Structure formats: C-alpha cells, structure tokens
A and B are shown apart, each in its own frame.
Chain A
Amino acid sequence: MLLEVRDLHVEFHTREGVAKAVNGVNYSVAEGETLAVLGESGSGKSVTAQAIMGILDMPPGKIAGGEILFKDQDLLKLKPEERRRIRGQEMAMIFQDALSSLNPVLTVGQQLGEMFVVHRGMSRKDAKAKSVELMDRVRIPAAKERVNQYPHQFSGGMRQRIMIAMAMALEPSLIIADEPTTALDVTVQAQVMDLLAELQREYNMGLILITHDLGVVADVADKIAVMYAGRIVETAPVHEIYKAPAHPYTKGLLRSIPRLDQKGRELYAIKGLPPNLTRIPPGCAFNPRCPIARDVCRTDVPPLYEVDAGRRSACHFWKETLDAR
C-alpha cells in the first residue's frame, strides 16, 4: 500500500474549546489508484490531507493520535527535515485557488524551476528548460514564451495547469488534489480533470481527490470515502455508492443534488446543519439530522461495519438503509 492513514485524530485548540476536526480516520491509497474524499465544509477532509502533507498549522492544530504510513514508514515519527525531503519529491499537493497559491511577483518559470533548483540542485538555466518542458506537458500553448510571464497573465484554467505541473515536477508517487476544479468553469473543469487523470495513468501515481462535488468524483475515482464531522461514514467502490448508498448521509447527499437529466419536483433536503466541531453530538454524529435515527444512535458511536468486500458503513442500520432504496 502506498499510503495508509490509521485512526488519525486532529484537534484545534480554540477559544471556544477543543474542536475535534478529525476523529479516527482510516483510509488507504494504492499506486495508480484514485481515492475521492467527499465531504462538506468542516467535515475534516482538508485537515486530513494537511496532516498527511505535514502542512497543518501547529498550533492551533495538534495531531492527537494515529499513524500515517507512507511506503511503510510512519510520517508522524519523522524529523522535520526528513519530512521536507518527502514533500515535493514523494508527495505533492494541488490547491483549490491557484491564484493565491502562486507567488504574484515571480514568473511561473521561476516558480516551476525552483523545484529543480532546490530538490535536484540544477542550475537556473537547466531548471528553466525543464519548466518549459513541464508546461508543454500540461498543454499550455506557447510554453517557451509564457514561461516568463507572471501568474496574473494566465487564465484560471491555465493557472491550475501550472499548479498541476508544479506538483508533477519531481514525479511524486502520491498527489493530493484539494478541490482542484472548484474555482473553474464547467468547460474548463472538464479539461483540467481529464489532464489530471491522464497524467496519473501515465505515471501510475496514487491520487487523493478531495471534493464536495459528487459529480466530479463519479467520472474519475476508483473508490470513495465520505466524511462527516471528522469521521468516515462510508467507503465504497465508486459504482456501488451511487447505485446503493449504505449510509443515510450519503443517501441524503445524493438525493439532494438537482440533476441535469432530471427535471422538477421538490428537492430532498437533509434537515438541519452540520454540527459544531467543539460540540459533536454523542453517539452517531449524524443522528440529529438523520431520518431513521433511533435511541442507540444517540448513545453508541457506530463502528465501520463491513457491508461487502471493500465496502463499509458507519451506520447501525446500514442494512435497512441499503435495502430501503
């Protein structure tokens, strides 16, 4: 296994108390595999990714437990210098907002080349040639001329391509993409997603795709982990989760999105709001919003029940949910 997250806990110490952002997350990614982590804001999906990358702000953040095994070594036990070497070379991240992730006063060539200068000890001139090559590979037209331009001279889609190029530069074995297409228009979104999937196949990388958009996930992921209030509530191969969700939250999400090919009727809406992370309800965190919650849901935290091979659901009544479609 390329990456394995085991029972990860992350807390934030705030004025209002301890916010438990991640409460025992387990997931794994193999080489060449795409795992989609799905969740709403505050579900802990990005915090988990930041913990894996080692870019969590600490304090106020704190990893309160668990292990992150990358190629069989626990990243949490490494020294900062060792982690820095892994970051960029072995794993890289693509952020949502390319404009604020790029330095506005350096040309894109300088920023891409920096990877080669720092990690590979190349000369500036060689690094620039490499940058042009990378920009070609992510299909930025006229790469030779554009390598000397600044981020603001590129469109949103092109900037996201530069982010992808930067992540790909040292051919890492794992890429974490945090909402890579959320800020883009639909027609550009499709281009960028296709590019990412193609590069992943070419280099046989592991890809963690973090998103809130069930539609984007359907086209590219192999398996899905759905997060709610810092926990994984359901994991499944991509085809099955859409056909037959085994957790009421997943089911509610799928029903609440309007679809292009279906018209009209009132939308199903999950009642209520996601919980405040400093006061997660006892028992199943979803119980106040769940249509089938019973007494046991208010007292016992549901474990991840095995539904099928490769399928798990953290619902006491997963069988009922699965059957009652």
Chain B
Amino acid sequence: MHADRDGRDTGGSGGGSTLLSEAREDAVAPYAEGDPILQVRGLAKHYPLTQGILFKRQIGAVRAVDGVDFDLHAGETLGIVGESGCGKSTVAKMLVHLERPTAGSIRYKGEDISRLSGRALKAVRRNIQMVFQDPYTSLNPRMTVGDIIGEPYEIHPEVAPKGSRRQKVQDLLDVVGLNPEYINRYPHQFSGGQRQRIGIARGLALNPEIIVADEPVSALDVSVQAQVVNLLDRLQAEFSLSFVFIAHDLSIVRHISDRVGVMYLGRIVEIGSDAEIYDHPTHPYTQALLSAVPVPDPSAREHRERIILHGDVPSPANIPSGCRFRTRCWKAQERCELEVPLLAVPAVFRSADTPARHDSACHFAEEKRVVPPEGEREGPSPDAPGRGGPAVEDLPGPGEPRAGRLPEEDGTPSQQEDGTP
C-alpha cells in the first residue's frame, strides 16, 4: 500500500497535477505547504419550500446549513458533533460534492471545488472520499465485495490498471483486517462491523487525502465499535489521512479528534482543540450537551452538574432571530434576540492566556467545566491501572492546549476482529 501511494505521488496522477496547475491561475492565494488542506467558508445549504403544484412558488427555505466555517489541516482529525437536524450530515455531503452548496466555498488546497463540474470535479473527488453511516444500506447487496471495493477503479482507471485491480482489492481487505479470500463474497455474508470495514476499504481504494466519515460507528454494537475506531485511528497514521469525523456521540468524537466543532441548527457554535472544547467549554450549548452525556460510572454522577435543556431544537425552516440557541438558553437576554453572535474568540478571553481562548459564538461566553477531571472521582474505574497514572495529564496548564494526539504505550492490548463471518 505504501508503494501505491508513492507511485501516485510521483508519476501516476497525471489528472491531478494538471488540474492543480490550471486551478492555480484563478486561485486567490497559492496553496503552500502547511496551509489547511481544506478551507470551508460561509458554507450554506438551503432547501426551498414550495407551494402549489403547477405554478410552484417558494414560500420559504429549510436552512439546513447556514454559514459554516472551518479549516482542516493535513493529517488532522476534525470532529463535528451535534444533534440530529443540526446539519452535520449535509456538511459531509457538500464536502464530497453529493450536494451543491447554496452559498460559500470549499477550498481544497486553495482551490474552490464547490462550483467545479465535469473532469475537474472528478479529479478532485478522487482525493476526498466518504465512509457512510449504515453499512447495511451503503453496500449494494448484488455486488461482491471485490466489485464494491474495486468499483472506484472503474471510474478512475488511472489509479490501477485493469490487471492489478484484484490484487489491490485484496491488499485493501487485508489493510482493514478482513481475510483477502473473501473477495468473492456478498455483503450479507458479513456482520455489521465487517461491512463497515468493507465501506472503509472502498473509501481508501483511491488513496484519498481526505476521508469524510459520517457516523461511521453509530450503527455498530459497543464491542465492535471499538474495533472500528481503532482501525480508523491506525489507518490515519498509516496513510497520513485527514479525517472529517461526524458523529453525535461526544465520547467517540473526543477519542478520535484533534479538534472538535460543535454544530447547532446549521452553524458551528464552538470550535477548538479537544481539550479546549471538552475541558474548557465556553458556549452554553456545548456545556449542556457535555453535561447530558451519560458517563458509565455511577460514582461520577455525584460530581457532575447536569444541565437539562428544555424543549426541542427549533425547525430549520423557522430559525430564531439573533442567536439561534436563545430559545433554549438559560442565559438569553435581549441582546441575544437582536444580534447574531459571531464565531470568534469572545471578548472576555481575548487577552487572557487560557484554554478558554478559542472560537465560541456566544455574547455571554463563560467558562464552565462540566466534565470532571479524572483525578476528582473516587473509586477506581475498572481499568484503573492503565488510566490511573496520567490523571493530571488531562488538565493542561494555562497556555498549553494539547495539540495533536500522542499515541501512548500503556500496555492496552489491541485486538482485531478475526475476520470470520
């Protein structure tokens, strides 16, 4: 697999390099090493609501995504969390061009891909692949595993010449921890976790640089979830992939992400490194979301303050004025109704040197720790020996937010599914 990647980078990607040179002419700023690989600005998707059968009039719009900004750096995992209907999946679809944005731009290596079409689009798509949520419906039941994983090569034949495809598919099966001999089997012969591995292998087939994963583990059983999360972690290191990881499960997002963005009703309300968001949240919605997550430890219950939000998320067809969270916010004041809060470092923290100094779209941002640090809890957790030591580690000192994830050797065994259906 390493050879593949190198091969492509040097000579194999004729289509890709010509595209880049064409694009450079009209790009605003040339892409330089170290720039974000993906820059999303003002991204919006509005679905029109119409009335009448013959003469359709637009009577409104569902503003599923309504102005989303973020950067994705090479080799990084950006987690996007939010409740259902917040627009996180629509963002994913726009990133891989399954939906066309109503407004805004998606710059891949400095070039806006949101308006591309035809050959230019096809070349870009090769580098941004998607892993879907439901491994039961995202695989064609009438195709063999080999055909499913090999299908991307039909569309991008330059990646793998016809003769070598079968071998490549078998390599991919091996990479995701499935037996290469299963190449002629059908999806129904595999379990949920194994199917998700097939979906991941398909996503990897074209050696993409970015993988957009939309709830890749939420359909799986707990014991299988861990296997797939570990696989994604390993693949990222092995192929230096950049991940956009979309999920509603805050614990899994923390586990896998370097940076996290919290979405509410079509907008990102808070974004920062994982420690900034989980240990130093400043937006009331993030705080409520974090406090609502059940922690599998009854003794943690006494140490946690629960913020229970009232009511439901408003309809995206009828978004409240000003701050869109104000209808459920306990801090809301008149200003929240009149003025839309921008996603920026709140004024109170602007000059402070704390991890609370990160982008948060709230007029009354205030740090509040809702997830207790490990050390504060009584009673060892079941895995105390492995986790007990670095208890203080989750409390970064001022001014040293924990960037990047350090794989730590703590003797935790990693095991793979044995690959037998």
* A contact residues vs B (CB 8 Å cutoff): 40-41, 155-158, 185-191, 194, 212-219, 238-239, 242-245, 251-274, 291, 325
Smallest Cβ distance from B197 to chain A, in angstroms? 12
User: Which B residues between 380 and 421 are near A, CB-CB below 8 angstroms?
Assistant: 380-387, 394, 402, 405-408, 410, 412-418, 420
Q: How far is the CA of A270 from the CA of B49 in the complex (A)?
A: 48
Q: A218-B296, A256-B225, A260-B250 are in contact. Are A272 and B382 (CB under 8 A)?
A: no
B residues in contact with A188, CB < 8 Å? 83, 312
Q: How far is the CA of A309 from the CA of B82 in the complex (A)?
A: 43
B residues in contact with A271, CB < 8 Å? 227, 415-418
Q: Is the CB of A267 within 8 A of B290?
A: no
Q: Is the CB of B293 within 8 A of A260?
A: yes
> Considering residues A157, A245, A252, A260, which has the most beta carbons from chain B within 10 angstroms of its beta carbon?
A260
Residue of B nearest to A260 (CB): B251
The stretch from B26-34, B130-138, B216-224, B343-351 touching chain A is B216-224
Q: A254-B383, A261-B394, A269-B230 are in contact. Are A40 and B288 (CB under 8 A)?
A: no
Interface residue? B274 (CB, 8 A): yes
Contact among A158, A270, A274 for B312, CB-based, below 8 A = A158
Residue of A nearest to B285 (CB): A187
The stretch from B1-9, B206-214, B299-307 touching chain A is B299-307
Residue of B nearest to A213 (CB): B294
Interface residue? B255 (CB, 8 A): yes
Q: How far is the CA of A88 from the CA of B348 in the complex (A)?
A: 56
Q: Is the CB of B295 within 8 A of A259?
A: yes
Total residues of chain B contacting the partner, CB 8 A: 71
Q: Is the CB of A257 within 8 A of B222?
A: yes
Q: Is the CB of B417 within 8 A of A272?
A: yes
Q: How far is the CA of A187 from the CA of B86 in the complex (A)?
A: 13
Given contacts A215-B293, A269-B414, 14 further A-B contacts (CB under 8 A): A186-B289, A186-B293, A187-B309, A190-B294, A190-B306, A217-B296, A242-B382, A255-B412, A259-B251, A261-B394, A263-B402, A264-B408, A265-B408, A291-B413
Binary A-proximity of B274-316 (CB < 8 A = 1, otherwise 0): 1100100000000011101111111111000010111011000
Contact among B224, B230, B312, B387 for A266, CB-based, below 8 A = B230
Q: Is the CB of A265 within 8 A of B300?
A: no
Q: A187-B292, A189-B292, A242-B296 are in contact. Are A269 and B415 (CB under 8 A)?
A: yes
A residues in contact with B337, CB < 8 Å? none
Q: How far is the CA of A188 from the CA of B382 in the complex (A)?
A: 29
Contact among B221, B251, B299, B385 for A40, CB-based, below 8 A = B221
> Considering residues A158, A239, A255, which has the most beta carbons from chain B within 10 angstroms of its beta carbon?
A255
Interface residue? B365 (CB, 8 A): no
Smallest Cβ distance from A2 to chain B, in angstroms? 23
Residue of A nearest to B382 (CB): A254
Q: Is the CB of A256 within 8 A of B223?
A: yes
Residue of A nearest to B312 (CB): A155
Interchain residue pairs with CB less than 8 A apart (6): A191-B308, A242-B381, A260-B251, A265-B412, A269-B230, A270-B223
B residues in contact with A157, CB < 8 Å? 312
Residue of B nearest to A265 (CB): B408
Q: How far is the CA of A255 from the CA of B222 in the complex (A)?
A: 10
B residues in contact with A274, CB < 8 Å? 221, 223
**Which 3 residue pairs of A and B lie closest in terms of their CB atoms, listed nearest first?**
A215-B294, A258-B255, A256-B226
Residue of B nearest to A289 (CB): B223
